[in-house]
Chain A
Amino acid sequence: MTTTLPARASRSGTALPRWVSAVLPVLLLALWELAGRVGGSVYLPPLSKVLGRFARDWFPDVIVHDLLPSLARFAVGFLGAAVIGIVLGLAIGMSRTLDDYLRPTLEFLRALPAVAILPVAVFVLGLGNAMRIAVIVFGVVFPVLVNATAGARAVRPERVDAARMFGLSRVDIARRVVLPSALPMISAGLRVALPIALIMTVVSELVGGQNGLGFYLTSHQQMFDIPAMFTAVLVLGVLGNLLNAGYSAVEDRVLHWAKHA
Chain B
Amino acid sequence: MTARTHHVALTATALLGTALLTACGGGAAPVTGEDGRTTLTMATVASDSCAQGFFGVDQGIFARHGIDVTLDVVAGVPELAAAVTSGQADVACSAPTAIASGVSQGLPFTMIAPGIAYTKDNPGSNLVVPAGSPITGVADLPGTTVAVNALNTLPHLASRAMLEDSGVDPESVTFVNLAFPNIAQAMETGQVQSGVLQSPFTENEEAAGGRTIGSPYDYVNGGQPFVYTVWFGTTEFAGQNPEVVTKLREAMAEVSEWANDPANADARRASLAAATGQTAATASTSRLSNYGTELTPESIQSQLDLQVRFGTLPEPVDAATLIAAGSTS
Main secondary structure of the interface of A (DSSP, over half): helix
- In the bound complex, do residue B312 and residue A221 qualify as a contact, i.e. CB atoms below 8 Å apart? no
B314 to chain A, nearest CB (A): 10
Contact A222 B98 (CB under 8 A): yes
Whether A223 lies near B25 (C-beta < 8 A) is no
Instruction: Say yes or no: A44-B151 contact (C-beta < 8 A), given A127-B176, A225-B105, A226-B105.
Output: no
A225 proximity list for chain B (CB < 8 A):
101, 105
Across the interface, which residues of A come within 8 angstroms of B105, CB to CB?
A: 42, 223-226
Q: In the assembled complex, how far is the CB of residue B109 from the closest CB belonging to chain A, in whole angstroms? A: 9
Asked whether, in the complex, the Cβ of A31 is within 8 Å of the Cβ of B18, the reply is no
- In angstroms, Cα B153 to Cα A42, docked, is 21
Asked if residues B13 and A210 are in contact (CB atoms below 8 Å), the reply is: no
* Number of residues of chain A lying within 8 A (CB) of chain B: 30
Note all chain A residues with C-beta closer than 8 A to B8.
28, 31-32, 35, 44
Assuming the A-B contacts A35-B5, A224-B81, A233-B12, are A219 and B21 also in contact, with contact meaning beta carbons closer than 8 angstroms in the complex?
no
Q: Do B16 and A210 have beta carbons less than 8 Å apart?
A: no
Q: Which residues of A, 214-244, contact B by the 8 Å Cβ criterion? A: 217, 219, 221-226, 229-230, 233
Q: A23 to B78, alpha carbons, bound, how many Å?
A: 37
B327 within 8 A of A: no
B18, A221: Cβ atoms closer than 8 Å: yes
Contact with B along A199-219 (1 / 0, CB 8 A): 000000001111000000101
16 contacts across the A-B interface (CB closer than 8 A): A31-B5, A35-B9, A39-B5, A41-B21, A42-B107, A43-B85, A44-B12, A44-B13, A126-B190, A127-B191, A208-B176, A210-B176, A221-B18, A222-B152, A224-B98, A233-B12
Chain B residues engaging chain A, CB cutoff 8 angstroms: 1, 4-5, 8-9, 12-13, 15-18, 20-21, 24-25, 77-78, 81, 85, 98, 101-102, 105-107, 145, 147, 150-153, 174-178, 182, 185-186, 189-192, 312
Given contacts A222-B77, A222-B152, 18 further A-B contacts (CB under 8 A): A31-B4, A39-B9, A43-B21, A43-B24, A122-B182, A122-B186, A123-B189, A126-B191, A127-B178, A208-B147, A210-B175, A217-B16, A219-B152, A222-B101, A223-B101, A224-B98, A224-B105, A230-B12
